[in-house]
Amino acid sequence: MSTIPGPARLVLKARDVAQILLTGLPERWRHTIGVARRAEQIGATVGPAESEVLEAAAWLHDIGYAPELLDSGFHPLDGARHLRSTGWSDRIAGLVGHHSGAFCVAEVRGLAEELGRFPRETSVVSDVLTYADQTVGPNGRTMSFDQRLADMLDRHGPDSPNAEAHTRRAPLLRAAVDRVERRLAVIRSRPAA
């Protein structure tokens, strides 16, 4: 019997799955490590009861890039499908499937109905996952939200589905980042215990 508490096992299991699937993609793996670390660092914004779900989703958010999971070619959907098919909760699969405003890009790609089969959560957890993903760039480097958006558009190109969805998606991402930054400011302004 394991001595690791249940919630910690969830995070460790998520990390192990991501590591197995993404180590062949070193840049994506480093980004994933950075996002998971960021989620862990700001877990206080969601509270202890939700921090494990947040951290697990952070580790798993980009597993759909793994070549063996390639199905639709849209990594949030491919990751969510894999998670559902391997017994992960619908909540984790939905957080992965809808991370960082993926539904906007899914619409452009003609995959909105398929992605819609996963629950789209609008919560502090989904906001913090977006914040972590949108403030960590390739290779796991911390960057501002504006730098991350510019980098994404540059990497994907002006004719990409990401660029086509940008005018709808960017304000949603910015709103999530702003909400998390306000929560962080409140936490930082509290006197030390």
Domain segments of the chain as ranges: 6-188
Q: Is 77 exposed, middle or buried (0-12, 13-18, 19+ CB in 10 A)?
A: buried
* Nearest partner of 161 among 55, 72, 43, judged by Cα: 72
Q: Are 74 and 106 in contact (CB under 8 A)?
A: yes
At 136 the three-state DSSP class reads: strand
At 137 the three-state DSSP class reads: coil
pLDDT attached to residue 8: 80
pLDDT attached to residue 1: 43
- Residue type for position 93: A
Residue 1, CA distances (Å) to 5, 6, 14, 24 in order: 11, 11, 19, 32
- C-alpha angle 81/166/58, rounded to 5°? 40
Residue 45, CA distances (Å) to 2, 4, 8, 33, 62 in order: 29, 24, 18, 19, 22
* Nearest partner of 139 among 13, 33, 6, 51, judged by Cα: 33
Per-residue pLDDT of the chain (193 residues; tens, 9 = 90+): 445 545 689 999 999 999 999 999 999 999 999 999 999 999 999 988 899 999 999 999 999 999 999 999 999 999 999 999 999 999 999 999 999 999 999 999 999 999 999 999 999 999 999 999 999 998 899 999 999 999 988 888 889 999 899 999 999 999 999 999 999 999 888 877 6
pLDDT attached to residue 48: 87
109, containing H or E segment: helix 102-109
Domain 6-188 has what CATH class?
mainly alpha
Q: Is this prediction's pTM over 0.85?
A: yes
Q: What is the DSSP letter of 120?
A: -
pLDDT attached to residue 193: 62
pLDDT attached to residue 118: 98
